[in-house]
Amino acid sequence: MTGIVVVFDFDKTIIDVDSDNWVVDELGFTDLFNQLLNTMPWNSVMDRMMREIHSHGKTVEDIEEVLKRVPIHPRVVPAIKSAHALGCELRIVSDANMFFIETILKHLGLRDYFSEINTNPGSVDDEGRLRISPYHDFTVSPHNCDLCPPNMCKGLVVERIKASLCKEENKRIIYLGDGSGDYCPSLKLGDSDYMMPRKNFPVWDLISRNPLLVKAEIHEWTDGDELERVLLQLISSISVEKPNNFPFSADCKLETLSVASHEAFPKALPVPH
Ligand SMILES: [Mg+2]
Ligand SMILES: [Zn+2]
């Protein structure tokens, strides 16, 4: 093992579009979706949209067919397989949902490459309707992070990952993302970690305003070609360094303490093999 955990955002990072928009647009519900976005949080709109789509006679199989056509850059799948072959542990932190992500990963033959998927639950109910719920039940226990949408703070997920890694050994995180929801986790990375923001996307804009706020080393990328090149270069440059040649992170204890107060948060759903 390289001691590297690669954390991927999903929408516009692994796939080239937003999976929620893709499904809604492809099934012809864009106008209703945009109307509802003015009235409730995105994650709640998606659950409502699944009700509308179901009531118009569209089945879960129709949704799966749309998901299997999702555009993905041809170098992304090889990049993921290479990172895995080089001994990295791969995880996903996404504000999409488990049903969309697992359907797409299975279709791409990638599901078993990821040890953990942290995302909004998504499952099919008895009536055959897809239900999407928040990662984090904000009506019961709000996460109190101003940077993140109410249903999911990715920064808390990264804090939990960091705390669990500290317990084992000194591992490093490489985080890849594009959206404004990836900014909060980028602030939680440590100075031995790496942040890969997608250039000219919201997280890159936010980081660019004050790059000094991010302790991790920043490596931008624009498309799947660059994602592959930058990620594999980073992995090989970390791998040739002497392992553990930096002191055991002094902030491990603090990170663990700060995460312990969030134990009410849902744990990551492990991917069954
Ligand atoms: Mg994204
Ligand atoms: Zn947050």
Q: How far apart are CA 83 and CA 28, in angstroms?
A: 37
* High-pLDDT (> 90) share of the chain, %: 81
Rounded to the nearest 10 degrees, how much is the dihedral formed by the CA atoms of 60, 65, 68, 70?
A: -100
Known catalytic membership, residue 11: yes
Please list all protein residues whose beta carbon sits less than 5 angstroms from ligand 2, which is an ion: 145, 147-148, 153, 155, 184
pLDDT band for position 168 (cuts 50, 70, 90): low
Q: Measured between alpha carbons, how far is residue 188 from residues 183, 214, 260, 263 in Å?
A: 9, 8, 15, 17
pLDDT at residue 239 in the model: 86
Residue 215 · residue 193 · CB < 8 Å: yes
Separation of CA 257 from chain center: 24
A 10 A CB-CB count for 4 gives 21
Residue 131 · residue 147 · CB < 8 Å: no
Of the residues 9, 18, 47, 193, only one is catalytic, namely: 9
Residue 191 labeled ligand binder: no
Q: How far is the CA of 148 from the centre of ligand 2 (A)?
A: 4
pLDDT at residue 221 in the model: 98
* pLDDT at position 267 over 60: no
Q: What is the pLDDT of residues 171-213, one digit of tens each?
A: 899 999 999 999 999 999 999 999 999 999 999 999 999 999 9
Lookup result for tokens 């799947």: 224
Known catalytic membership, residue 9: yes
The token duo for 129 is: 């309707």
User: Which of 30-39, 133-142, 170-179, 254-263 is predicted least confidently?
Assistant: 254-263
Q: What is the mean pLDDT of residues 78-106?
A: 98
Q: What is the pLDDT of residues 101-153, one digit of tens each?
A: 999 999 999 999 999 999 999 999 999 999 999 999 888 888 999 999 999 99
Tell me what the pLDDT averaged over the chain comes to.
Answer: 90
Starting from the CA of residue 94, give the closest ligand.
1
pLDDT band for position 247 (cuts 50, 70, 90): very low
pLDDT at residue 64 in the model: 98
pLDDT at residue 245 in the model: 44
Task: Tell whether pTM > 0.85.
Answer: yes
